[in-house]
Amino acid sequence: MMKHSRAVKTSKKAVHSSSKTLIKKMTTITPTTTPPPNTKPDKKNMTMDKEWQKYKKEYAKTYTSELDELKHYALYKESQKEVLEHNKLFEAGKVKYTKAINEKSDQKLEEFLALNFGFGFDDK
């Protein structure tokens, strides 16, 4: 089973599904700060997070409810953490590419495929 990562290579993202490879060039923004350790995404953190507000504005993000936004915020924070950890490995010379936040960093793979390519998945 293929492991999915919402944080992607800076220039391209490859998604493999049903023997088709889908490649999409992405624009990116790079996180500038490390998220506070063990900070659970909640409403207060979400509204005070300047990078989240910048991300939503940059990519014209809107959500159907506060709960929906909180879900996407949690995915974004997870992606941000992964990007920062990976880029530390890059700086140490352990990997050969960097990652960055992009317009899909607040989505699960299933949501991305459903919205962009019409694939259906059970939300478990």
Give pLDDT, residue 122.
59
Torsion, Cα of 6, 8, 11, 17 (10° steps): -70
Phi, psi of 50 (to 5 degrees): -65, -35
Task: Give 40's pLDDT tier (boundaries 50, 70, 90).
Answer: low
Give pLDDT, residue 60.
97
Give pLDDT, residue 105.
95
Please give the residue that has the higher pLDDT: either 56 or 113: 56
Give pLDDT, residue 80.
94
